[in-house]
Amino acid sequence: MKKSKVVVAGSFIVDVVGFAPRFPKDGETVIGSTVKFGPGGKGSNQATAASRAGAEAIMITKIGVDVLSNIAIEHYNAEGMSQKYVYRTDKAPTGTAFIEVSETTGENRIIVVKGANELLSAVEVAAAEEEIATCDAVLAQLESSDEAIVELFRLAMRHGKRIILNPAPARQVPEGLFEVVDYLTPNETEAEYFSGVPVKNPEDAGLAAEKLLGLGVKNVIITLGKHGAFYSDGNNKLLVPTTDLKAVDTTGAGDAFCGALAVALSEGMDILRAIRFANCAASISVTRAGTSQAMPYRHEINELYARFYGN
């Protein structure tokens, strides 16, 4: 089968991850067990997830010229991903994320400094128009510049392409942005931010999805962690349970889900199968430490899908 193509305009960020038995309270110091540096950023994580899940992933991003930028180059070389649209600037540092991971719960807390990602321009995205014209889906997040996201969506609409937006991290977006989105993929926190509905359970997710659909989005998929994912297009509603794998590090789970979802939809899977496929990718990712390096490969996703969901 011919590979699908997914174009991702988004962030590359170096993850600085510290592991400790628990999170510190305000003003408290907790002794950690280890620290790791690695490739991350929501955009790059999702592109990596899409690539490993079986697509040709085209990454559009911007990094600095500092020592941390070498982590990006090494990562894309190792993954066999094109660097044609990986731009560099000396006007800002490579983006960085400071991540705390609780070894007890697997949960995380993150501070992101977007750095060079804020400088990704519409002109640089437009340079990839031929890739967008020949792709099966475009995928964006909110960790890069507004103008880059708007231009990606403008070109996707021009060429009639599927538009997927992971609205993370939650922040104010340009007016009308949601109106062109085919699939919106928030987690509980992001769904609450954009809908005004606190999401504590699947019933709340249904109410939040109604609000999000009212903003013009065509399909909403709210990821609910261990409860799976809730889907609505206004007429059809699904709660898709996730697998039984135990979480070690939940950082990047949403990115694994979004990258795999883009591949599944690009390959023509129906929405139930696509969400199950994405659930499997996210489930595998949380059994491993790190973000980009934790993204699963296609054979792993297929094996878990067959074991947990059947055919």
Give the CATH number of the domain where residue 300 resides: 3.40.1190.20
Active site residue 255: yes
Residue 196 lies inside a defined structural domain of this protein = yes
Residue 30 lies inside a defined structural domain of this protein = no
At residue 110, the pLDDT reads: 87
- Whether 249 shows a pLDDT value over 80: the answer reads no
Residue 136 lies inside a defined structural domain of this protein = yes
| Phi-psi category of residue 171: left, alpha or beta, with phi > 0 → left and psi -120 to 50 → alpha | beta
Residue 29 lies inside a defined structural domain of this protein = no
Predicted confidence band at 291 (pLDDT cuts at 50, 70, 90)? Answer: confident
In the chain, the amino acid numbered 230 is: F
Residue 217 lies inside a defined structural domain of this protein = yes
Residue 28 lies inside a defined structural domain of this protein = no
Query: How far is Cα 247 from Cα 25, in angstroms, rounded to an integer?
Result: 23
Name the one residue in this structure whose structure tokens are 């880059």.
Answer: 148
Q: How many domains does the chain have?
A: 1
Q: Find the catalytic residue in 15, 146, 255, 270.
A: 255
Percent of the chain with pLDDT strictly greater than 70:
100
Please report how the helices 253-266 and 42-52 are oriented relative to each other, as an axis angle in degrees rounded to 10: 50
Asked if residue 62 lies in contact with residue 69, where contact means CB atoms within 8 angstroms, the answer is: no
> What is the extent of the structural domain holding 48?
5-23+35-308
Neighbouring residues of 270: CB distance < 8 A, sequence distance ≥ 6: none
Cα–Cα separations (whole angstroms), residue 216 to 53, 135, 249, 311? 29, 23, 34, 33
Q: Is the pTM above the cut of 0.75? A: yes
